[in-house]
Amino acid sequence: DIQMTQSPSTLSASVGDRVTITCRASQSISSWLAWYQQKPGKAPKLLIYKASSLESGVPSRFSGSGSGTEFTLTISSLQPDDSATYYCQQYKTYWTFGQGTKVEIK
């Protein structure tokens, strides 16, 4: 099974900050990685697919990069609405999620 590890588990940043979340796969998954945003009491929402492709309607301040085993999600200028938990997910072999990163606004 492919394991996904995210870091950090939580982060606190100010509005306007650049925020980066890291996701590591236990083996190479090429670019078969997605990022999701989940707000409390809501369903997850797709942000990024194929490691760096922005889903339609998602603000351009979100971006993804990486391939193989190392990936990052970057929020270029953190906004109050970005307070949420973010999950990476590999879809090379079945589907596995990272444990999540909770982003808080200072």
Site of interaction with another protein (CB under 8 A)? 32, 34, 36, 38, 42-46, 49-50, 55, 87, 89, 91-92, 94-100
* DSSP reduced 3-state for 81: helix
User: How do strand 84-90 and strand 96-97 relate by DSSP bridges?
Assistant: antiparallel
Smallest gap from residue 97 Cβ to another protein (A): 4
Q: Which is nearer to another protein, 24 or 92 (CB)?
A: 92
Smallest gap from residue 17 Cβ to another protein (A): 24
Smallest gap from residue 101 Cβ to another protein (A): 10
Q: Which is nearer to another protein, 68 or 100 (CB)?
A: 100
Region of residue 88 (left: phi > 0; alpha: psi -120 to 50; beta: else): beta
Q: Which is nearer to another protein, 18 or 59 (CB)?
A: 59
Cα 49 to Cα 92: distance, rounded to the nearest angstrom: 12
* DSSP reduced 3-state for 82: helix
